[in-house]
Amino acid sequence: MEHILSLDKELFVYLNGLGSEAFDPFWKIITKQFYWAPVFLLIFYAMQRKVGWKNLGIIVLFLAVLITFTDQTTNLFKNHFQRLRPCNDPEIKDFIRIVVHRSSYSFFSGHAASSMSSTMFIVLILRKYYKYAFLLFLFPLIFAYSRIYLGLHFPGDILTGYVFGGLSGAVFFKLYQLFQKRTGDRFKLPD
């Protein structure tokens, strides 16, 4: 395990070192969900056109529960493992680029988990209607990479967040399908 953690730190130092001050403001914007709002609205619009208002409301409700579940589970893991963020890690903090500082724990990334879970859930719904729905996976990749760039998460935190988020999104999609089947034609959903 120590070897894996050591490799994780080495990879972080390399990836974090690729940044430059000229791009810092850009990555500070990328890491905030608020600035992604136009993209989210466009996705909801595209979804509403295919599934209707009733289904969209149910999808938003499932997304809210999914994000809450992902966020709270992430907090449980962070408090249990108490892995220091790179910006607080005494082994590396003096020679890495720290663009943003946080004092909370690092393992695993809530940004990665939440973005991947919601994207997985949405892609599984939209794939029937849009051939290129899989391109939405660019969002969690870019969004979570910002956390490495800013000095807030190790790659292992991001990867674990992706895996947990992907599985959570798939499970919630299955729950959504079960809900649709139980409610019948009132809220018709794609297979």
Helix, coil or strand: residue 46:
helix
pLDDT tens sequence across 99-135: 998 889 999 999 999 999 999 999 999 999 999 999 9
Q: What pTM does this model have?
A: 0.88
Cα–Cα distance, 153 to 71 (Å, whole number): 16
pLDDT tens sequence across 156-186: 999 999 999 999 999 999 999 999 988 875 5
Contacts of 159 (CB under 8 A, 6+ apart): 112
> What residue ranges do the domains of the chain occupy?
2-17+36-187
Question: Could you report how far apart the first and last alpha carbons of the chain are, in Å?
Answer: 41
